[in-house]
Chains A and B, each alone.
Chain A
């Protein structure tokens, strides 16, 4: 589903070069639920941005669902993003001036679906997150958990093959967070690949596989299923050290 090899990302300002990712390799298979963890500044956001085609990389190889992403221009990347990836952000990123229906509608508009198709998908995905009764409401009228459900509905509406979640419960209290997490697991069970970036080890523990990013490099726990089950933050860091 997603494969990166020897990928690196260098930020250049006129003074310094910063290696955000260095010789980064990862392979996420179809249907997996992968948690990407790491402390602040480790490069996990950079990974997310590159994996989600939000940013370009400096060197290396990257295939997304069989497509070689290298050298794609901005428009092609936008199209790919729109068709293959659904995004869930920490801050929900709903458009405050649009009601729920129109918010979910945003990616479908860019997909170029007809009105009937869009309406069907919006209603389906909103009912999937349990909010079909509030289609005409505006984001500000909803709780944080409900807003994130809308964001999930928006991400799902286009039937993406890959769901990228960036700290999806970061702005939610634990009760709401649990609900969102359960929803993600349910989506994963239905066949959508999920990559979730989080700094919360408890959340990471619920994924099938953990990838730990540290100083722009990756530690893949795929090979060590034992660790995966009962890993604690300190343990992981100890293991890496």
Chain B
């Protein structure tokens, strides 16, 4: 092919080439890094919570006034909830995955251990919680009703039995023999026994580095006058049950406020709204960037075709076929794009390194984004230049003999 003469012709009009090349370079650098960030967010959002998210909702109840008995109300509420049609399971739960607020503690193997073996989120629940969360016991057993003790908030927690997630069990007991083992949830004895292991249940904090380290603690322990409930319904009946619950609980006790009912789906949406916003913004920028770059290529190529009409006619007169002309412009675009892409590859890593030093949790751009970006921008350039190049190929050879 006629690559060398195209290059030497391009070297004669460096500015135009540099402008398009620079545009391609910046586009590659930005698109690669943006796509990488989008992909990271996507992976981040995709992590399963371990819950049945479709059929579950949660809400809070706050009592007021001096005569309010939080513990009695909680027991009555649970009894009421469990009798409602469509309810599969209901449990008190201090927090739920992705809600953003909750309690955590260090889990230790020794009393007064200086550095905790693992940090775990605590869900203070009762014996219906495994069912209500919709998580699955993979070893051991559920809590027995008598293990759900009455406790006062503010006192140290020493549950006899706890259920932990598999991830936490494996972290604390790498041998895989966590079931039946004793751990400390507090600085001092008594210990708690791991009676069950569930496959997965996330912590409430989506940005936690130990998101799968969760412990279920059996206790009836309202937070002051506040209790939070989690309810799982039969498939497809969530919204209907939600309305019913709101109405029944409001009727049952006038000296309290029933908080907003929130589905786990809403909770997930809210928890990841910043990530989703980032993805949308980056996606929009990528789209606009590619559009602008494509339009830039079309604009410059159209200009070149107009400027070189005579030259194209001459080439045709000297024996170039239409395809030869088409190929000339495609090749030219390919060469400019390639030059831009080579620079862009370097820029992409420069940008990635900058992000690495300025943004927490940033990772170095994986290498395969660059070749994928190369191919995409090659294609974009070729498609963009196809219009002007086709127009060029239609320049009649008789243009060569036209005097102006």
Contact = CB atoms under 8 A, between A and B. Distances in A.
B60 interface: no
A89 B400 contact: yes
Contacts of B398: 49, 54-55
B321 A109 contact: no
A102 B318 CA distance: 13
B18 interface: no
Contact of B314 (A89, A97, A138): A89
A81 interface: yes
A52 interface: yes
A78 B316 contact: yes
Most buried by B among A81, A82, A87, A93: A93
B318 A106 contact: yes
Contacts of A83: 319
Given A89-B314, A97-B9, A78 B321 contact: yes
Contacts of B13: 97
Contacts of B310: 91, 93
A75 B396 CA distance: 13
A98 B323 contact: no
Contacts of A70: none
B2 interface: yes
A102 B5 contact: yes
A99 B11 CA distance: 12
B324 to A, nearest CB: 6
A79 B401 contact: no
B301 to A, nearest CB: 15
Nearest to B404: A91
Contacts, number: 95
Interface string B180-202: 00000000000000000000000
A90 interface: yes
A95 B314 CA distance: 9
Given A90-B403, A106-B315, A95 B9 contact: yes
A110 interface: yes
Interface string B243-265: 00000000000000000000000
Nearest to B402: A45
A154 interface: yes
A78 B2 CA distance: 18
B2 A109 contact: yes
B8 interface: yes
Given A49-B398, A54-B400, A93-B400, A107 B9 contact: no
Interface in B1-41: 2, 5, 8-10, 12-13
Most buried by B among A74, A78, A138: A78
Given A78-B316, A97-B13, A99-B8, A91 B321 contact: no
A49 B12 CA distance: 31
A48 interface: yes
B238 interface: no
A78 B319 contact: yes
Contacts of B318: 81-82, 87, 106-107, 110, 154
A89 B320 CA distance: 17
A4 to B, nearest CB: 17
Contacts of A52: 317, 401
Interface in B303-328: 310-311, 313-324
Interface in B226-241: none
Interface string A132-147: 0000001000000000
B401 to A, nearest CB: 5
B5 A45 contact: no
A225 B324 CA distance: 45
Given A74-B321, A97-B12, A105-B5, A87 B315 contact: no
Interface string B386-404: 0000000000111011010
Contact of B319 (A89, A97, A99, A110): A110
A78 B395 CA distance: 13
A49 B397 CA distance: 9
B396 A110 contact: no
B321 A79 contact: yes
A53 B314 CA distance: 13
Nearest to A84: B319
B332 to A, nearest CB: 11
Interface in A62-84: 74-75, 78-79, 81-83
Contacts of B323: 75
A111 B321 CA distance: 11
Contacts of A102: 5, 8-9
Contacts of A55: 396-398
B17 to A, nearest CB: 11
A6 B373 CA distance: 60
Contacts of A49: 398, 401
A45 B404 CA distance: 14
B163 to A, nearest CB: 77
B5 A48 contact: no
16 contacts: A54-B396, A54-B397, A78-B321, A91-B310, A91-B403, A93-B311, A93-B400, A95-B311, A96-B311, A97-B12, A106-B5, A106-B315, A106-B320, A110-B324, A154-B318, A158-B319
Interchain residue pairs A-B with the least CB separation, the first 8: A82-B319, A97-B9, A93-B314, A97-B12, A107-B318, A54-B397, A110-B319, A78-B321
Given A54-B317, A54-B397, A111-B319, 12 more contacts: A55-B396, A78-B322, A82-B320, A87-B317, A89-B400, A89-B401, A90-B401, A93-B311, A93-B400, A102-B8, A109-B5, A138-B12
